[in-house]
Amino acid sequence: MDERMEHTMRYAAPRDHTTAREALTTAFAAMREKGYDAVNQIVGYLLSGDPTYITGYKNARYLMMRVERDELIEELVRVYMASGDSQ
């Protein structure tokens, strides 16, 4: 018997390393291009988890779904606090 068949092989599927910032930026731009209120749509998605709030245009929905919602919120808070507009 082949020695390779006696051991469990580990396979690591390639991961999509979409960052929260990339997903939000892409989705925001795609929704603005389509004429949607991007802020309202993103808030709807973050509150409900319903991906239909995000357009499929430019793969925006797929990118948003690749990132956990809590990571998206963390990124929004981080950028907001760093912007100095938090007062």
- Give per-residue pLDDT as tens, 35-62: 999 999 999 999 999 999 999 999 999 9
- Three-class SS of residue 3? helix
- Tell me the pLDDT of the chain averaged across its residues: 88
| Whole-structure pTM value | 0.76
Task: Inform me whether the pLDDT recorded for 2 exceeds 70.
Answer: no
What percentage of the chain reaches a pLDDT higher than 90? 75
Better-predicted residue by pLDDT, 16 or 57: 57
When pLDDT is averaged across residues 10-17 and rounded to a whole number, the result is 61
C-alpha 62/C-alpha 18 separation (Å) is: 10
Q: Pull the structure tokens for residue 59.
A: 């793969």
66 within 8 A of 23, measured Cβ to Cβ: yes
